[in-house]
Structure 1
Amino acid sequence: MADKHAGPTGSARRRASASLQQLTARPRIAQLITRIAPRSVRTRTTLAACIGVAAVLLAASAAVLLLLRVNLERSVEAGAREQAQVVGRLASDGRLPNPVPLDHGTDFIQVTDAGGTVVAASQNLAGRPALTPAGTSDGHDSFDLDTLGDEHHQRVTTLTADTPTGTVTIRVGASLHTADTAEDLTTAALAALSGLLVVTVGVVTWRATGRALRPVEAIRAEVAAIGDRDLDRRVPEPGSDDEIARLARTMNGMLDRLEAAGVRQRRFIADASHELRSPLAVLRTQLEVAHTHPDPDVRADMVAGALQDTDRLQSLATDLLLLARLDATGHDGPREDIDLTELVRTTVEARSGQRPAVTLDLTGRAAVTGNPMWLGRLLTNLLDNAQRHARTTVTVRLAFDPAAGQAVIDVTNDGPAVDPAEREKVFERFTRLDDARSRDDGGTGLGLPIARDITTIHGGTLTIEDTSDGCTFRARLPAHRNPDPGTG
């Protein structure tokens, strides 16, 4: 039983081994192809141009040679047929000579009767038996012409004619030596010209590609040399107006944005460190005094002040975290349909017990698509800023602009106006005007920048507008009209 199963088991093992060898050989072949494949764009472009031109020239040369061969063979065949017709007329008139004279370009002539007997022939076939077809080649009968004593590439034309003694068959052999010679010369000329043209195309493509890629290499080298502390460097821009020049301008624009982002980041870190250092130092001092002071009342005051600074630090950390989320999330935050009118109403009503009081003016209903938490933070920051600077009143107005397709939110306070030269400055991070730098009254300097970032992420704008009743912050958001409840 063991011998019976040995054969199939060994065969299966051999097949498995062969399959494994094939699977192992495929990655090796792929690795070999990868190694020998050209890596540079210049080499690949030159090779592709040469291969393309060579393929076109090969097809064109084959077509030219085919047409030349067909035309030459037709000319030889036409001459042989004309010679056969002349011999046929002589045979029909009973004036067929023997031997039959050969015309220029004709190798032999043989005339046989219906029984296959040679009745006349050219001098070189005198005494030879009748030619018989040995087969068919290219639609023509082929004959064994070794009896002529030399190899001949010929076209044999066969024609029948009626004579006084019966029907005869006339075979005229025409030499294709001229056609062969012309074809050989043409092939050699086309090969030489094609080779020269391929080499010329390769050289021109190599030089042109190298010249075209020289600015790209300069851009690559400059970008490779730019470090995180060299963002003020720029790549060279060619004087042309082609794709490479546009690439260089795009790279320089990207470097401009990177440099500006680096400057903003360093400034942000410096401002954040400064803002955190002051309350931390005060908090440490208060805790040290509370820890060592013997008077319980003074200790309680110090602890209360420390709690206030802790709240301020917590608020600052929350704002910094939100800014980081806004910078990281950008336009990819969660979106949903929001009743902006209801959001404004609930946000204002939540401040009903605060002073100064907030007056709400809703002249229309609007709905937006966005992040409800962020839009709520937008309104909260604007209201915090307005209540901080207002003397007696704060007004919130919501209207819908059908022409622009926008919801317009105006938060107005009757406090001092913002100087036009400082209206953009207040939206910079950690920026507070001189009258708002008090630790008790001033904010963290992040509320308005956060509000503008939220507005920008939602495709809107936040600006400071001139109004007669105080300072107004106007937020415009893409929206659509939301019908009043009960209007159907």
Structure 2
Amino acid sequence: MAERAGRTGSARRRALAPLRRLAARPRIAALTARLAPRSVRTRTTLAACVSVAVVLVAASAAVLLLLRVNLEHSIEAGAREQAQVVGRLAADGRLPNPIPLDNGTDFVQVTDARGTVLAASQNLTGRPALTPTGRSDGHETFDLADLGDEHHQRVTTLTTDTPTGPVTIRVGASLHTADTAEDLTTAALGGLSALLVATVGVVTWKATGRALRPVEVIRSEVAAIGDRDLDRRVPDPGSDDEIARLARTMNDMLDRLEAAGVRQRRFIADASHELRSPLAVLRTQLEVAHTHPDPAVRADLVAGALQDTDRLQSLATDLLLLARLDATGHGGPQEEIDLTGLVRTTVENRGPQPHRVTLDLAAGLTTSGNPMWLGRLLTNLLDNAQRHARHHVTVRLAADSAAGQAVVDVTNDGPPIGAADREKVFERFTRLDDARSRNDGGTGLGLSIARDIATLHGGTLTIKDTTDGCTFRIRLPIRREP
């Protein structure tokens, strides 16, 4: 039973181990996120230091490798040269015993084919022949403990023929010089690398701080700008770098925000003014009608109140449409529209009009957009034309193939609009004179709505120069056949 319970517990621990690892991952990620540097200055400095450190480590490793290879090559060349000298002496039968050592050579030992020591240097006199214990880095290794001290040596082996038979010459060259040079070079490179990384870190920290100082000034200024002081601007560093372009972009954005705020406040003030007058008249009419004893007078007052109610309803509808146009920023659902049919239908569905409407429409012109909004654009222009025409209104539709646009002209034979007022009439709640007063039934928003709709459909709405009458020209992109 105890053994079974132990096996069950082990299996349960193994089954729960992946769950524990999954549970630990969010904690590790949260800890990493807390420890990660948050400022651009810190991240830039760390990136520069790490990059320089990686380059220095790679360069130092390459330098040390080349140094080691060159030093070992020099030592091996010296050892091989001494082995060749001893080989020539052995071949001539003039092998001395003990064998003198050259500078940089630790020992020399000469053995015959049976492993008998024929001659050796002073420090190996009376010692047995050296036997290989293995190989390392392509070289044979030897147990040199008999020398009485730890030695880092490179043993060079040479075989040569003598009058008594072949002999093997082994020369041990000390690598102490190479080790010392490598240690000194490593220490020097480490110290210089650390100094260089520290210098790069300090310079990057200061340079980044100086470069980001204008950004902090811009951030502080933007944070201090409220909705009541949009006339403030961020300081321009006066340079021609990315930060200066950022400052200019921020100031351009603040210009747009300030202009939008001014338009919004003016719009609210104008809307309040436009709503106040009909509401006051409506209240007066209803109060008089409520107390007047004559039924005929009451009926006239109620009829006038209904007219003011209609005007209030039209004004509220226009205000809601303007708010929607400002909020969406696009023309709504897009579909292919038969522009010729849309213009004809819009004019014919208006029913009887105060002035005759003449149509001159080119066939087969199509565009993309929202048919309901484009119909509202034409309706507003027709309402304006009927309001100010003397005898007739003309609607023309033609194609400007060179520009790839459809041109709609809505012309009335009323008084022309002067060049100085041709942009002003498109402002909200603008009426130029008594002829364009609220008594004519307009809300002062129709032309503004019409231009917004044309703009959202990629077109324009302007007033054309005419000598007699007034022409509003719409330009819309023509839908091209694939």
Q: Which amino acid aligns with 2:164?
A: T
Q: Which amino acid aligns with 2:373?
A: W
User: What corresponds to 2:125 in structure 1?
Assistant: 126
User: What corresponds to 2:292 in structure 1?
Assistant: 293
Residue 73 of structure 2 corresponds to residue 74 of structure 1: yes
CA contact (8 A) 2:282 2:309 kept: yes
Alpha-carbon separation, structure 2, partners of 1:18 and 1:121: 65
Give the direction of change, closer, same or farther, for the CA distance of 1:11–1:138 in structure 2 (3 Å limit): closer
Deviation of the 1:10 alpha carbon: 4.0
CA contact (8 A) 1:368 1:480 kept: yes
User: What corresponds to 2:473 in structure 1?
Assistant: 474
Q: Which amino acid aligns with 1:185?
A: L
- Secondary structure in 1 matching 2:330: helix
- Secondary structure in 1 matching 2:277: helix
- Secondary structure in 1 matching 2:444: coil
Alpha-carbon separation, structure 2, partners of 1:199 and 1:382: 73
Give the direction of change, closer, same or farther, for the CA distance of 1:481–1:388 in structure 2 (3 Å limit): farther
Deviation of the 1:352 alpha carbon: 4.5
Deviation of the 1:20 alpha carbon: 4.8
User: What corresponds to 2:147 in structure 1?
Assistant: 148
User: What corresponds to 1:248 in structure 2?
Assistant: 247
**TM-score calculated relative to the size of structure 1:** 0.95
CA contact (8 A) 1:461 1:475 kept: yes
Fraction of identical pairs, as percent: 83
Deviation of the 1:33 alpha carbon: 1.8
Deviation of the 1:23 alpha carbon: 3.7
Alpha-carbon separation, structure 1, partners of 2:19 and 2:459: 64
- Secondary structure in 2 matching 1:331: coil
User: What corresponds to 1:460 in structure 2?
Assistant: 459
User: What corresponds to 1:260 in structure 2?
Assistant: 259
CA contact (8 A) 1:432 1:442 kept: no
Instruction: Pick which of 189-198 and 18-27 moved more.
Output: 18-27
Q: Which amino acid aligns with 2:356?
A: A
Residues 164-212 of structure 1: CA distance to partner in whole angstroms, max 9, x if unpaired?
Answer: 1111110111111111111111101100100000000000000000001
Give the direction of change, closer, same or farther, for the CA distance of 1:15–1:107 in structure 2 (3 Å limit): closer
User: What corresponds to 1:317 in structure 2?
Assistant: 316
CA contact (8 A) 2:390 2:413 kept: yes
User: What corresponds to 1:55 in structure 2?
Assistant: 54
Residues 424-477 of structure 1: CA distance to partner in whole angstroms, max 9, x if unpaired?
Answer: 100000001112354431410000000000010111111111123411001111
Alpha-carbon separation, structure 2, partners of 1:23 and 1:394: 77
Residues 231-266 of structure 1: CA distance to partner in whole angstroms, max 9, x if unpaired?
Answer: 000011111111111111111111000000000000
Alpha-carbon separation, structure 1, partners of 2:473 and 2:161: 114
- Report 1:365-384 matches (<5 A): 365-384=364-383
Alpha-carbon separation, structure 1, partners of 2:295 and 2:38: 80
Q: Which amino acid aligns with 2:345?
A: T
CA contact (8 A) 1:159 1:170 kept: yes
User: What corresponds to 1:172 in structure 2?
Assistant: 171
Give the direction of change, closer, same or farther, for the CA distance of 1:283–1:195 in structure 2 (3 Å limit): same
Give the direction of change, closer, same or farther, for the CA distance of 1:53–1:467 in structure 2 (3 Å limit): same
- Report 1:29-428 matches (<5 A): 29-331=28-330, 333-428=332-427
Alpha-carbon separation, structure 2, partners of 1:473 and 1:271: 25
CA contact (8 A) 2:415 2:468 kept: no
Residues 292-319 of structure 1: CA distance to partner in whole angstroms, max 9, x if unpaired?
Answer: 1110000000010010001000100110
Alpha-carbon separation, structure 2, partners of 1:357 and 1:176: 114
**TM-score calculated relative to the size of structure 2:** 0.97
- Secondary structure in 2 matching 1:294: coil
Residues 71-93 of structure 1: CA distance to partner in whole angstroms, max 9, x if unpaired?
Answer: 11111111111111111111111
Q: Which amino acid aligns with 2:467?
A: S
Deviation of the 1:24 alpha carbon: 3.6
Q: Which amino acid aligns with 1:127?
A: G
Q: Which runs of 5+ in 2 are unaligned?
A: none
Deviation of the 1:144 alpha carbon: 1.2
CA contact (8 A) 2:331 2:369 kept: no
CA contact (8 A) 1:365 1:400 kept: no
CA contact (8 A) 1:413 1:470 kept: yes
CA contact (8 A) 1:341 1:365 kept: yes
Instruction: Pick which of 395-404 and 94-103 moved more.
Output: 94-103
Give the direction of change, closer, same or farther, for the CA distance of 1:173–1:10 in structure 2 (3 Å limit): closer
Alpha-carbon separation, structure 2, partners of 1:126 and 1:382: 121
Alpha-carbon separation, structure 2, partners of 1:20 and 1:142: 51
- Secondary structure in 1 matching 2:475: strand
Instruction: Pick which of 435-444 and 270-279 moved more.
Output: 435-444
- Secondary structure in 2 matching 1:67: helix
Alpha-carbon separation, structure 2, partners of 1:90 and 1:27: 76
- Secondary structure in 2 matching 1:120: strand
Deviation of the 1:58 alpha carbon: 0.8
- Secondary structure in 1 matching 2:316: helix
Give the direction of change, closer, same or farther, for the CA distance of 1:445–1:421 in structure 2 (3 Å limit): same
Alpha-carbon separation, structure 2, partners of 1:357 and 1:8: 101
Alpha-carbon separation, structure 1, partners of 2:3 and 2:306: 92
Q: Which runs of 5+ in 1 are unaligned?
A: 483-488
Give the direction of change, closer, same or farther, for the CA distance of 1:207–1:332 in structure 2 (3 Å limit): farther
Instruction: Pick which of 4-13 and 320-329 moved more.
Output: 4-13
Deviation of the 1:330 alpha carbon: 1.2
Give the direction of change, closer, same or farther, for the CA distance of 1:236–1:180 in structure 2 (3 Å limit): same
Q: Which amino acid aligns with 2:236?
A: E
- Secondary structure in 2 matching 1:403: coil
User: What corresponds to 1:485 in structure 2?
Assistant: none
Deviation of the 1:126 alpha carbon: 1.2
CA contact (8 A) 2:340 2:361 kept: yes
- Secondary structure in 2 matching 1:467: coil
Alpha-carbon separation, structure 1, partners of 2:2 and 2:141: 63
Give the direction of change, closer, same or farther, for the CA distance of 1:3–1:197 in structure 2 (3 Å limit): closer
- Secondary structure in 1 matching 2:281: helix
Deviation of the 1:28 alpha carbon: 2.3
Q: Which amino acid aligns with 2:412?
A: N
Deviation of the 1:27 alpha carbon: 2.4
Residues 92-119 of structure 1: CA distance to partner in whole angstroms, max 9, x if unpaired?
Answer: 1111111111111111111111111111
